[in-house]
């Protein structure tokens, strides 16, 4: 646990008692704060009370009097589509609002570091797509070289649940826009921006607000190194904002869309090969086509980001390449779950928007596509260039018929359930094809999470192939 500094003896409120909220309450208490907690869900309140955390209704008049700060869980809206009433009351009372990410960054460094040969470092990864795989890949590469590393944030453990790092330790954080948007402290040593595509638009008041939330990771604290995907205008803008000149190698531009040029530091993937260039010279090259855990161009961008981060830590290209080959990938992200008679079954349930589904579709030459679910804002336009890879779509979800209307001339079948979709796709798939779950939609119409949806896909594949 990382005890929170700066609130010893102070009254602090925690709103929302999920994983991050409970973690924040524990860390605040460990730092000497008097914690009051609230959640609209009675079961969550009971779990907190069972740990000895004082539960207090923060919605009642005067509940925020005398508070030093209000800590808010990431799932609670603080501005759009409308501020939570407790947050609005905190504004009115002049109570600062923060989250567990802000607490982490203000509490991470300790006086004990004075005795270390090498200060611990934080690598923070954000973006629309690929941030989980990128964060996990960075942690894997670091760990494979024998260095102490912890993975936390939106993946793995809560940021305040990790162990205080030792000499030379590295913490890799995956941070969502919900987490970066509110944190009052954001000071990573290395910050990574993968890409941007429409997502969570209602929560951020549109695409501009969504990008602004991501940009805060770079603008608030000024990382020593900024690794920025430049395949979209937002990334190109951000890289330009961070760099002091063309040769400023504090900014590393990455791309999976083509060759990058110029005197600065860049890492790009082209035709399956990763290349590192610095000061106009090629420094390294890796053949990504043979790395099973990183299929497709979208994973090649993840590889570029991870390579750049590892190079910032002083790791050599050969060390990084060897670690790439031992990376197994993440569940529900281009996860090969079975293969029979030349047909692969791939679980990419994490492809919850059109842009991430497009990347999955681009990774395989001929696809039996299982798609559908709770549609997100932004539409399915990003899929259009890749629909030529689809032999047939099998649509799931409560509104499957409506989702299918977006597919127009693509051969498709309304299946509604995962069981029906997997059975039909497996029956019709031919040698060389891939049965791909890449929903391009949220899961909440039928499942509690994308993980539950992916697990159902795996279970149905096993049932179908075992039949």
Which residue ranges make up the annotated binding site for ATP?
127-133
Place of tokens 């509940």: 63
Query: Which residue from 189, 167, 171 is spatially nearest to 114, judged by alpha carbons?
Result: 167
Tell me the residue length of the chain. Answer: 467
Place of tokens 């730092």: 31
| Sign of the dihedral through C-alpha 370, 368, 294, 388 | negative
Q: How far apart are CA 214 and CA 109, in angstroms?
A: 23
For 113-179, give the DSSP string: GGG-SS--EEEEEE-SSSHHHHHHHHHHHHHHTT--EEEEESSSB-TTTSPPP-TT-EEEEE--HHH
- The burial of 392, by beta-carbon neighbours within 10 Å (0-12 exposed, 13-18 middle, 19 or more buried), is given as middle
CB atoms within 10 A of CB 342: 10
Q: How far apart are CA 28 and CA 22, in angstroms?
A: 10
Binding-site residues, please? 127-133
Residue 362 near residue 294 (C-beta atoms within 8 A): no
Structural element, H or E, at residue 253? strand 251-255
Q: How far apart are CA 63 and CA 68, in angstroms?
A: 12
Q: How far apart are CA 151 and CA 422, in angstroms?
A: 33
Return the C-alpha torsion angle 211, 269, 154, 235, nearest 10. Answer: -10
């Amino acid at each position: 646990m990382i005890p929170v500094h700066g609130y010893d003896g102070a009254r602090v409120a925690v709103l929302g008692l999920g994983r991050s909220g409970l973690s924040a309450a524990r860390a605040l208490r460990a730092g000497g704060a008097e914690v009051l907690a609230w959640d609209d869900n009675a079961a969550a309140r009971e779990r907190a009370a069972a740990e000895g955390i004082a539960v207090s209704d923060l919605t009642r008049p005067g509940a925020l009097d005398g508070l030093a700060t209000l800590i808010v869980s990431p799932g609670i809206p603080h501005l759009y589509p409308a501020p939570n009433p407790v947050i609005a009351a905190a504004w009115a009372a002049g109570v600062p609002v923060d989250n567990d990410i802000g607490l982490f960054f203000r509490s991470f460094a300790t006086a004990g570091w004075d005795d270390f040969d090498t200060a611990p470092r934080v690598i923070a990864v954000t973006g629309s797509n690929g941030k989980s795989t990128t964060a996990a890949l960075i942690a894997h590469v670091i760990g494979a070289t024998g260095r102490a590393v912890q993975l936390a944030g939106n993946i793995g453990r809560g940021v305040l649940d990790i162990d205080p790092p030792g000499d030379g330790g590295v913490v890799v954080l995956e941070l969502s826009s919900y987490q970066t948007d509110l944190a009052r402290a954001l000071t990573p040593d290395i910050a990574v921006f993968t890409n941007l595509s429409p997502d969570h638009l209602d929560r951020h008041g549109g695409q501009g607000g969504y990008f602004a939330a991501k940009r805060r990771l770079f603008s608030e604290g000024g990382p020593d190194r900024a690794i920025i995907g430049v395949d979209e205008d937002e990334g190109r803008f951000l890289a330009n904002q961070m760099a002091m000149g063309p040769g400023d190698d504090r900014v590393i531009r990455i791309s999976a869309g083509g060759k990058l040029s110029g005197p600065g530091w860049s890492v790009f993937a082209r035709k399956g090969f990763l290349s590192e260039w610095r000061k106009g010279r090629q420094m390294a090259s890796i053949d990504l086509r043979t790395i099973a855990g990183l299929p497709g161009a979208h994973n090649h961008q993840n590889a570029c980001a991870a390579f750049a981060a590892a190079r910032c830590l002083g790791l050599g290209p050969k060390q990084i390449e060897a670690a790439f080959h031992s990376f197994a990938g993440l569940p529900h992200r281009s996860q090969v779950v079975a293969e029979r008679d030349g047909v692969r079954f791939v679980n990419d349930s994490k492809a919850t928007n059109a842009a991430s589904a497009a990347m999955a579709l681009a990774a395989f030459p001929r696809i039996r596509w299982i798609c559908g679910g709770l549609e997100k804002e932004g539409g399915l336009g990003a899929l259009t260039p890749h629909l030529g890879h689809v032999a047939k779509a099998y649509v799931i979800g409560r509104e499957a018929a409506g989702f299918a209307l977006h597919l127009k001339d693509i051969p498709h079948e309304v299946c509604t359930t995962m069981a029906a979709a997997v059975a039909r796709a497996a029956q019709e798939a031919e040698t060389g094809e891939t049965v791909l779950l890449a929903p391009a939609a949220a899961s909440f119409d039928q499942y509690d999470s994308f993980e539950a949806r992916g697990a159902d896909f795996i279970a149905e594949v096993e049932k179908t192939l075992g039949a």
